[in-house]
Amino acid sequence: MKFPIAGALAAVAFSLVAVSAQAQSGGPPPPQAIPGKLQYDANRVGRAYDQLRAASVLGAPRRSSGNPLQVKAAIALASELKAPCAVTDAAELKNGHAKAPDGSTITVQTYEIVCKDSLGWIISKSSDGTSQLTDCLALQTGALAAGKAWPKGYLCGLPENGTPFLGLRPIAAKVAPSCALVDGAYMGAGGQPPILRYEIACKDGKGFVVDAPAPGSSAALQAIDCDEAKAAGAACTLTDKKRG
């Protein structure tokens, strides 16, 4: 089954904000597209993220489940923010205060959520009405790209979110039913209606670039294979054609 992406991939306008600018505002940083190639060993699932956890420069956390009230609050917030998630677990991150542009103080509520058979997320809402949802794979990609500039601890840390790309399995099953997913990467976000872009790599050496609807978006799920993606100016970085 094939889901053609309408128009050239390069035509999608992506909005990627610098981590440092967002950090100064007190809110969570946005995801970033990773420059250049990011290679994984597909035969050792989770190796890359295990290394992230061990890398003190990134401050990769290990979180425990929240108490029942915190989990309940996270479920309610996930529903309010239209997170594509059937929440099975959650943890409250360090919530606190930030300065608004007018100098007033705003409060921020932030949770990590685990989702049944899909990507986990870190979700946030401020008392000024602003909100943000960032999936665990986007956070991992942003941390790898930003290095020391990434805010310490701002990664998914619940055990079920420990290997973020595995959350792409439902998407892989839809766009390529024969794909045995061995890796995945976040590529960026943008467009109108908004999409989230991922690369998926399959055990047989094939790969796809996938545009999935952002939370609350009316965008359709679309995909093209890596050969088509390369021709459109968005070459895959994970797929090794010699593997399989």
Give me the torsion for CA of 91, 95, 101, 103, rounded to 10°. Answer: 170
Task: Render pLDDT for 137-164 as a digit per residue (tens, 0 to 9).
Answer: 999 888 877 777 888 778 899 999 988 9
| pTM of the complete model | 0.76
Q: Is the residue at 145 inside a domain?
A: yes
Relative orientation angle of helices 136-146 and 47-54, to the nearest 10 degrees: 60
Residue 58 pLDDT: 52
Residue 202 vs residue 3, higher pLDDT: 202
**CA–CA–CA angle 111, 182, 62 (5° rounding):** 30
**CA–CA–CA angle 26, 76, 187 (5° rounding):** 55
Task: Render pLDDT for 204-218 as a digit per residue (tens, 0 to 9).
Answer: 999 999 999 999 999
Q: Is the residue at 38 inside a domain?
A: yes
Question: Helices (H) and strands (E) in the chain — how many of each?
Answer: 6, 9
Burial of residue 192 (CB within 10 Å: 0-12, 13-18, 19+) is exposed
Task: Render pLDDT for 100-116 as a digit per residue (tens, 0 to 9).
Answer: 778 888 888 899 999 99
Residue whose pair of structure tokens reads 């890398």 in the numeric block: 55
Half-sphere exposure of 146 (CA within 13 A, CB side): 28
The torsion angles phi and psi of 110, rounded to 5 degrees, stand at: -135, 135
Q: What is the mean pLDDT of the chain?
A: 76
CA separation for the pair 156, 93 (Å, rounded): 10
Give me the torsion for CA of 123, 127, 130, 136, rounded to 10°. Answer: -10
Number of domain units in the chain: 1
Structure tokens at 27: 């809110």
Residue 5 pLDDT: 53
Task: Render pLDDT for 17-67 as a digit per residue (tens, 0 to 9).
Answer: 222 223 223 333 333 333 333 333 333 334 444 454 445 445 567 899 999
Q: What count of other Cβ atoms lies within 10 Å of the Cβ of residue 144?
A: 20
Q: Is the residue at 243 inside a domain?
A: no
Q: Is the residue at 58 inside a domain?
A: yes
In 68-170, at which residue ranges do the beta strands (DSSP E only) sit? Answer: 87-92, 96-99, 105-115, 121-126, 131-135
Q: Is the residue at 88 inside a domain?
A: yes
Q: Is the residue at 28 inside a domain?
A: yes
Structure tokens at 40: 């994984």
Q: Is the residue at 236 inside a domain?
A: no
Structural domain boundaries enclosing 110: 9-231
Q: Tell me the H-state helices in 16-67.
A: 19-25, 47-54
Q: Is the residue at 239 inside a domain?
A: no
